[in-house]
Amino acid sequence: MYTTIKASFISEKCVHCTKCIDDHYCEFNALTWDEENEIPIIDYLKCEGCGACKVLCPEHAFEIHPVKSGEIISYENNYGTLLIYGKTQLGSTTSGKLVSEVKEFAKHSDKYNNSNLTIVDGPPGIGCPVIAMLSGLNYVIAITEPTPSGLHDLVRILELVEQFKIPFSIVVNKADLKSPFQKKFKKYVKDTEYKILGKIDFDYAIPEAMSYAKPVVEYAPQSKASIAIKKIYEKMKKELKKL
């Protein structure tokens, strides 16, 4: 996947004038000077591919070109379900684009056309990857927990979801957490009248299942968490039918 652009240096065209450094061509400080070889060096982790060096250099010693920014990986799991995910290259700035590319890749798969449900596992926050994830969705499930950081992030993401005018509901993870913040969290949910799709209590079966690299519903199907997840899934199907 080549959605990131970076600058490259053409040493044959350089006349060692140091203008790129003296005149501060790069606003991202991606250019430094190699005193021994008398040429500029590009820090590719800092380079944003803006093209200023290419435009400003009188000798045209810089070029801008796409570089590999990530890859899309897909495979079929033991349940016959197609799993597709994106892997970003270190230092790449393409996280939002990668999310969009993964969704587009999924749409062109054979499994997509034969399926009536596609689940997108979104990243935290409200940045570019989250906006790319929300685009085109029919329903959103916001997963949170009754903690200060959990409520803070929930408020932010739901403000964004409401701007997209997408129907949503909430799943509360670690719902039985013993915390003085529980009252404030419950008051927020009550005041907003947001729909709670389900609650998952703290369950040691989940970290145990993770240690065996298995879903908790497979590792411990009769555990509290597994039963709660199955109920949430059934409620989710009913909500989607209403759409």
Q: Is the pLDDT of residue 1 over 80?
A: no
Supply the pLDDT for residue 173: 94
Q: Is the pLDDT of residue 210 over 90?
A: yes
**CATH placement of domain 4-67:** 3.30.70.20
Mean pLDDT, the chain, whole residue set? 90
155-173: pLDDT as tens digits:
999 999 999 999 999 999 9
Q: Taking the model in full, what pTM does it have?
A: 0.75
Domains 4-67 and 138-242 share a fold: no
Mean pLDDT computed over 136-147: 93
Q: Is the pLDDT of residue 93 over 80?
A: no
Domain coordinates of the chain in residue numbers?
Answer: 4-67, 138-242
CATH number for 138-242: choose from 3.40.50.80, 1.20.970.10, 3.20.20.10, 3.40.50.300.
3.40.50.300
Supply the pLDDT for residue 53: 96
The set of residues, in sequence order, having a beta carbon less than 8 Å from that of 45 and lying 6+ positions away, is 91
Q: Are strands 39-42 and 4-9 parallel, antiparallel or unpaired?
A: unpaired
Cα 75 from Cα 128, distance rounded (Å):
26
The answer to whether the CB of 201 falls within 8 A of the CB of 216 is no
Supply the pLDDT for residue 80: 82
